[in-house]
């Protein structure tokens, strides 16, 4: 077996420990470091990782010549500076979503990784979810026919963040999945929202993306809602599919429903077809484990993961353009043509 990839996790509050736990379980990975500015947080996790070094100094990771990669699970404004420092020190980097606060910063990180021939991966967790992978296989295999539109519902009465609105906190999940399913970069986006609980921090956002092929994407993001929904629906000309992450045994449902093309026989009426409903078996593997495996194997094989720096940059560009639209009462914002999603 090849030598395990040595990885350090930075940011050990809420999400970082989940990454540390998954990385520590991989035979192909050695969790060499855990880092946080808080001694108290580090103390909480020491016993779970007895062979791991703990530090409050990020530079300890960067100065460790034997360390291959850094996993960044810190607060969002620190993602870009910490990722830049890691790549500049010759370390592969895994960065929590969103990759950066601006498209320019995110593109700069993607370019730096390319220039240094290092792996840069973003935690677009849902792209690696077995249910979303099943949806992608249906879309790419043509089972749904032509894709007309898709929409995501990510709502809850949940954690109300003071420093990040619902768009930036929840949106990266659905935006990354939509870009990946459609395989195109949107040309125009818009978003409307309101801040009901805290001034200036939108708790509910409705976003829209228009793709060059005519596909329309819609997002409903909120942490101020009685329902808990984690759902994505794709409407095709032949079939429709729903991914519902709140379901345990019915993560993906395929509906053989759709319009029948108009024929002379039926005059002016358009017929609809309502056939079987099927539920494919979806493996119950924890998506974060798959994400960690993918990062470690991308580093070992020096290959580009699907959720690479460029994919991360397009998501940030969409978030940035939607934020611009939010500030201008939902006016459409054009996205420059660039690298495909």
Ligand X SMILES: NC(=O)c1ccc[n+]([C@@H]2O[C@H](COP(=O)([O-])OP(=O)(O)OC[C@H]3O[C@@H](n4cnc5c(N)ncnc54)[C@H](O)[C@@H]3O)[C@@H](O)[C@H]2O)c1
Q: Kind and range of the H or E element at 9? A: strand 5-10
Packing angle between helix 287-301 and helix 16-24, nearest 10 degrees? 60
Which of 64, 105, 123, 225 binds ligand X (CB under 6 A)? It is 123
* 330 contacts: CB under 8 Å, gap ≥ 6: 190, 191, 192
54 binds ligand X per the rule CB under 6 A: no
Whole-angstrom Cα distance, residue 313 to residue 179? 12
71 binds ligand X per the rule CB under 6 A: no
Q: How far is CA 60 from CA 4, 8, 15, 73, 255, in A?
A: 20, 10, 21, 17, 53
Q: Kind and range of the H or E element at 192? A: strand 188-194
Whole-angstrom Cα distance, residue 186 to residue 182? 9
Least separation in angstroms between CB 240 and ligand X: 26
Q: How far apart are the first and last CA of the chain?
A: 35
- Contacts with ligand X by CB under 6 A: the residue count is 23
15 binds ligand X per the rule CB under 6 A: yes
Options 10-18, 21-29, 229-237, 274-282: segment touching ligand X (CB under 6 A): 10-18
35 binds ligand X per the rule CB under 6 A: yes
166 binds ligand X per the rule CB under 6 A: no
Which of 26, 32, 76, 147 binds ligand X (CB under 6 A)? It is 76
Which of 11, 103, 186, 193 binds ligand X (CB under 6 A)? It is 11
Least separation in angstroms between CB 305 and ligand X: 15
Least separation in angstroms between CB 74 and ligand X: 4
Which of 5, 10, 166, 191 binds ligand X (CB under 6 A)? It is 10
Residues 217-276 that bind ligand X (CB under 6 A): none
CB neighbours of residue 220 within 10 Å: 19
75 binds ligand X per the rule CB under 6 A: yes
Which 8-state DSSP code applies to residue 201?
A: B
96 binds ligand X per the rule CB under 6 A: yes
Which C-beta is closer to ligand X: that of 77 or that of 275?
Answer: 77
Residues that bind ligand X (CB under 6 A): 10-16, 35-38, 41, 58, 73-76, 78, 82, 96-97, 123, 125
């Amino acid at each position: 077996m090849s030598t395990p990839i040595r990885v350090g996790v930075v940011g050990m509050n809420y999400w970082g420990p989940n990454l540390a736990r998954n990385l520590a379980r991989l035979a192909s990975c050695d969790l060499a470091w855990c880092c946080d500015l808080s001694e108290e947080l580090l103390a909480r996790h020491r016993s779970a990782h007895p062979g791991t070094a703990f530090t409050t100094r990020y530079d300890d990771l960067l100065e460790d010549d034997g360390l291959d990669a850094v996993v960044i699970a810190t607060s969002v404004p620190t993602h870009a500076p910490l990722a830049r420092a890691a790549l500049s020190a010759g370390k592969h980097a895994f960065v929590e979503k969103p990759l950066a606060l601006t498209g320019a910063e995110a593109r700069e990180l993607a370019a730096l990784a390319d220039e240094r021939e290092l792996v840069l991966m973003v935690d677009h967790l849902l792209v690696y979810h077995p249910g979303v992978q099943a949806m992608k296989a249906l879309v790419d295999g043509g089972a749904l026919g032509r894709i007309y539109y898709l929409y995501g519902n990510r709502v809850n009465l949940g954690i109300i963040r003071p420093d990040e609105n619902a768009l930036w906190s929840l949106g990266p999940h659905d935006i990354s999945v939509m870009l990946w399913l459609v395989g195109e970069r949107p040309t125009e986006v818009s978003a409307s929202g309101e801040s009901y609980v805290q001034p200036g921090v939108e708790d509910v956002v409705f976003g829209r993306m228009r793709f060059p092929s005519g596909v329309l994407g819609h997002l409903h993001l909120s942490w101020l809602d009685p329902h808990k929904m984690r759902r994505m629906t794709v409407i095709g000309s032949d079939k429709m599919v729903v991914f519902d992450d709140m379901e345990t045994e019915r993560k993906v449902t395929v509906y053989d429903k759709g319009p029948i093309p108009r024929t002379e026989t039926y005059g002016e009426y358009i017929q609809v077809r309502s056939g079987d409903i099927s539920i494919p078996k979806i493996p119950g593997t924890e998506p974060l484990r798959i994400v960690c495996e993918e990062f470690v194997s991308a580093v070992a094989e020096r290959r580009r993961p699907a959720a690479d720096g460029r994919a991360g940059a397009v998501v940030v560009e969409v978030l940035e353009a939607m934020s611009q639209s939010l500030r201008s009462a939902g006016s459409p914002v054009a996205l420059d043509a660039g690298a495909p999603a």
